[in-house]
């Protein structure tokens, strides 16, 4: 759409925003004077939905009233609590029922699924990943390579996606690559990959294709089943707003989920639920079909309760509508930033809306640490990555167009200083 720089235009966009009421469903952090901060850090930790507290308190009440009986009684029995997210989780990432389970945390889930799907041979052992690599992914992949007896410096291909680096690497080394593991949206640059095209290319070279969706789940529209992604993992404390350290999500394509002979690390909650409580009489692990079969331990109920509130908001709003607003919000911010003095910073996130989520990453050339401190003092919550990257994410569930306009004005004020 055609944007305009004046404040009244920003107010006008907010007035016709069909999703504006969702902002009222979140707790907004406050400044010392009681005014809300401008929170552009949903790519790191999402805000708390107001519905979270009563859901957590409900489970505390069930525990107090029923004790162990809460596993099978109460409004949402704990024994099957994780099943509350089967359908909503599938809708979130474009999966079929049974392909998604919430459990553990992202890196734990990445290890569990690599134990199944990273099956290296003497000639096909390398792992291709996009650079820059988030440290936890990097450490996980390096440790998996070492676990299988390979030199991580040789086995890991960390490729800059610029100039089709991933496609070129697959074309040249596809026969050596066992696993392609990409961030759906890169944590630092905000680049959103053309997932279906890369999945098809990886499979053409007989590579397993997997995704880390930490910055993509709840940010962009996904169709993991139709795109033939083999497996994916994500956290739920960023765009999904399920709280610090919230339970992570897993996707396993049904073509793998129904193969009960696949090797995996096993635990009682991945077992067939009809025999789960046979205890010492059940000596053989029989995995449940679908993503549930990769569970190990019973779910942490108090940590999962916030997910009910979080995913309900996504079901109510719908990812297509959220994505449409996100493209307008981020596009408006990019438009306003492009009007600022040249040479002080550059946007390293792709300019094409189809190739980015809601995050814009600014490579700051002029006093980056001073700028980060200035934004904080002005009540702007974003984040800084050394040596000189500031990440800003206008989130469609709770950020407004006027907040974006205000942010641009504060940046302009800083740059006008000598």
Residues 96 and 143 placed together within one structural domain of the fold: yes
Q: Pick from 297, 316, 335: which residue ends a domain? A: 316
pLDDT at 403 over 80: yes
- pLDDT band (50, 70, 90) for residue 281: confident
In this prediction, residue 275 carries a pLDDT of 81
Q: Is 101 helix (H, G, I), strand (E, B) or coil?
A: strand
Percent of the chain with pLDDT over 90: 93
Residues 333 and 293 placed together within one structural domain of the fold: no
CATH code of 16's domain: 3.90.1150.10
For residue 184, give Cα distances in angstroms to 192, 342, 354. 6, 30, 12
Q: Which two three-digit tokens encode residue 405?
A: 């306009």
In this prediction, residue 283 carries a pLDDT of 85
pLDDT at 91 over 80: yes
pLDDT at 163 over 80: no
Residues 279 and 333 placed together within one structural domain of the fold: no
Residues 222 and 87 placed together within one structural domain of the fold: yes
pTM for the full model?
0.96
Tell me how many domains the chain contains. Answer: 2
Residues 148 and 80 placed together within one structural domain of the fold: yes
Q: 364 in a domain, yes or no? A: yes
Q: Determine the structural domain holding residue 340 and report its residue range.
A: 7-47+318-415
Q: Pick from 316, 344, 371: which residue ends a domain? A: 316
Q: Pick from 316, 345, 378: which residue ends a domain? A: 316
Q: 127 in a domain, yes or no? A: yes
Ramachandran class of 58: left when φ > 0, alpha when ψ lies in -120 to 50, beta otherwise:
alpha
Residue with the bigger pLDDT between 103 and 276: it is 103
Q: 409 in a domain, yes or no? A: yes
Residues 219 and 103 placed together within one structural domain of the fold: yes
Residue with the bigger pLDDT between 161 and 348: it is 348
Q: Residues 139-162: what's their mean pLDDT?
A: 96
In this prediction, residue 227 carries a pLDDT of 98
Beta bridge partners of 192: 185
Q: 2 in a domain, yes or no? A: no
Residues 58 and 182 placed together within one structural domain of the fold: yes
**CA atoms within a 13 Å half-sphere pointing along the CA-CB vector of 253:** 17
- pLDDT band (50, 70, 90) for residue 133: very high
Q: Residues 89-104: what's their mean pLDDT?
A: 97
Q: 95 in a domain, yes or no? A: yes
In this prediction, residue 162 carries a pLDDT of 82
Q: 137 in a domain, yes or no? A: yes
In this prediction, residue 418 carries a pLDDT of 56
Residues 15 and 123 placed together within one structural domain of the fold: no
- pLDDT band (50, 70, 90) for residue 52: very high
Residues 110 and 247 placed together within one structural domain of the fold: yes
Average pLDDT value over all residues in the chain: 96
228-251 pLDDT, tens digit per residue, is 999 999 999 999 999 999 999 999
| Region of poorest pLDDT, from 140-149, 274-283, 294-303 | 274-283
For residue 190, give Cα distances in angstroms to 133, 161, 334, 361, 391. 12, 12, 13, 7, 9
Q: 1 in a domain, yes or no? A: no
351-398 pLDDT, tens digit per residue, is 999 999 999 999 999 899 999 999 999 999 999 999 999 999 999 999
CATH code of 159's domain: 3.40.640.10
Residues 271 and 361 placed together within one structural domain of the fold: no
Q: Residues 17-42: what's their mean pLDDT?
A: 97
Q: 221 in a domain, yes or no? A: yes
Give phi and psi for 344, each to the nearest 5. Answer: -80, -30
Q: Residues 48-52: what's their mean pLDDT?
A: 98
Sorted by sequence, the CB contacts under 8 Å of residue 348 that are 6+ apart come out as: 189, 190, 361, 362, 363, 389
Residues 18 and 147 placed together within one structural domain of the fold: no
pLDDT at 10 over 80: yes
Residues 39 and 71 placed together within one structural domain of the fold: no
């Amino acid at each position: 759409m055609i944007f305009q720089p004046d404040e009244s235009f920003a107010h006008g966009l907010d007035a016709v925003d069909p999703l504006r009421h969702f902002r009222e469903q979140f707790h907004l952090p406050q400044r010392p004077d009681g005014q809300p901060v401008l929170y552009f850090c949903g790519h790191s930790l999402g805000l708390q939905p107001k519905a979270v507290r009563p859901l957590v308190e409900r489970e505390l009440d069930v525990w107090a009233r029923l004790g162990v009986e809460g596993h099978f009684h109460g409004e949402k029995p704990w024994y099957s609590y994780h099943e509350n997210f089967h359908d909503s989780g599938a809708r979130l990432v474009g999966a079929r029922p049974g392909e998604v389970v919430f459990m553990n945390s992202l890196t734990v889930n990445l290890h569990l699924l690599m134990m199944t799907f990273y099956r290296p041979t003497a000639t096909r052992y390398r792992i291709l990943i996009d650079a820059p690599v988030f440290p936890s992914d990097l450490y996980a992949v390096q440790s998996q390579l070492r676990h299988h007896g390979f030199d991580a410096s040789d086995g890991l291909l960390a490729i800059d996606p610029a100039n089709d680096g991933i496609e070129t690497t697959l074309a040249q080394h596809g026969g050596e690559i066992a696993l392609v593991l990409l961030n759906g949206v890169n944590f630092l640059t905000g680049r959103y990959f053309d997932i279906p095209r890369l999945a098809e290319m990886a499979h053409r070279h007989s590579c397993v294709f997997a995704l880390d969706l930490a910055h993509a789940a709840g940010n962009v529209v996904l169709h993991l089943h139709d795109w033939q992604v083999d497996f994916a993992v994500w956290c739920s404390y960023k765009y999904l707003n399920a709280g610090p350290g919230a339970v992570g999500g897993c996707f396993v394509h049904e073509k793998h989920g129904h193969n009960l002979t696949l090797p995996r690390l096993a635990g009682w909650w991945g077992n067939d639920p009809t025999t789960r409580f046979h205890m010492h009489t059940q000596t053989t692990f029989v995995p449940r079909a679908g993503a549930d079969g990769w569970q190990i331990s019973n779910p942490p109920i108090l940590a999962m309760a916030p997910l009910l509130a979080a995913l309900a908001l996504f079901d109510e709003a719908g990812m297509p509508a959220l994505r449409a607003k996100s493209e307008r919000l981020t596009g408006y911010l990019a438009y306003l930033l492009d009007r600022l003095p040249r040479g002080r910073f550059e946007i390293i996130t792709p300019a094409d809306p189809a190739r980015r989520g809601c995050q814009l990453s600014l490579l700051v050339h002029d006093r980056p640490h001073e700028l980060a401190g200035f934004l904080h003092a002005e009540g702007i919550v974003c984040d800084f990555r050394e040596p000189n990257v500031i990440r800003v994410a206008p989130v469609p569930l709770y950020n407004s167009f006027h907040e974006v306009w205000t942010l641009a004005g504060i940046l302009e004020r800083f740059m006008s200083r000598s």
